[in-house]
Amino acid sequence: MLDREQPEPITSRLLDESCAGTAIRHGFFTRRGGVSKGIYEGLNVGLGSHDERAHVVENRTRVCGWFPLPTERLATPHQIHSSDVIIIDQNYDGARPKGDAMVTGTPGILVGVLTADCGPVLMADPQAGVVAAAHAGWRGAIDGILENTIDVMEQCGARRDRITACVGPSISGPNYEVGPEFVDRFVRDNAENGAYFTPSANESRSNFDLQSFILDRLAGAGITAQQSGQCTYADESMFYSYRRTTHRGESDYGRQISAIGIVDGGSVGPAF
């Protein structure tokens, strides 16, 4: 990946169409277009990684430049796999508060989440001018991060019947093997959750369809949504993956970013 490359994020056709004619832009960024090297090669934006900080800062600058907005207007949380949602307004000071979703109605600010297998979810009510980015791993999804994000969007003036959402690149079911205690946790919460598990090639283990689980949670909350369908584990050239790194015994991993904001101008990436 050459330094001269620039980010080429994926965009959602659903979000593009619903936000047409507005200043709302979004992107699910990949590894492409960054300056990081080694195991982080590409567009690693993880401030919590052990990558060279100058590389991470440059990568985040490139993300902001695609919209375009100044780097200091990119708000990302200190993610903790919670159901906590943060409102970002004109008083944003660059801090990284703990939580797993951000909502804003303030023009000129990007809200984003970092992932490396978990589900990034971008949402917008273009009529109200309210957008959100949520980090939905299995724990956050089952604990209500998506529903809480929608509630906070409504507090900011959105209406759920106008919200559209997209679940971005994340780990797919065939690559997400879990143990019986994981399955039990989901089935105890709701017996119908058993439908998200299929038998694994390894005895007593199962494969979990996180992408469908997130999509169905959004549908259950009354949100029109789609998923991109890409698997972060399977496509190493495009995406970082925590689980792939773990299976290889590598020391660390990069993070990709998904971001949305109310901005002006610029071009758009390839829509799915």
**pTM for the full model?**
0.95
In a domain, 7, yes or no: no
In a domain, 118, yes or no: yes
In a domain, 3, yes or no: no
DSSP calls for 144-172: THHHHHHHHHHHTT--GGG-EEEE-SB--
In a domain, 183, yes or no: no
Each residue's pLDDT, cut to its tens digit, for the chain (272 residues) gives: 444 578 999 999 999 999 999 999 999 999 999 999 999 999 999 999 999 999 999 999 999 999 999 999 999 999 999 999 999 999 999 999 999 999 999 999 999 999 999 999 999 999 999 999 999 999 999 999 999 999 999 999 999 999 999 999 999 999 999 999 999 999 999 999 999 999 999 999 999 999 999 999 999 999 999 999 999 999 999 999 999 999 999 999 999 999 999 997 433 444 55
Count of the separate structural domains present in the chain: 1
In a domain, 229, yes or no: yes
In a domain, 267, yes or no: no
In a domain, 185, yes or no: no
Taken as a whole, the chain contains a residue count of 272
Domain that holds residue 242: 13-172+209-262
Which CATH number covers residue 91? 3.60.140.10
In a domain, 83, yes or no: yes
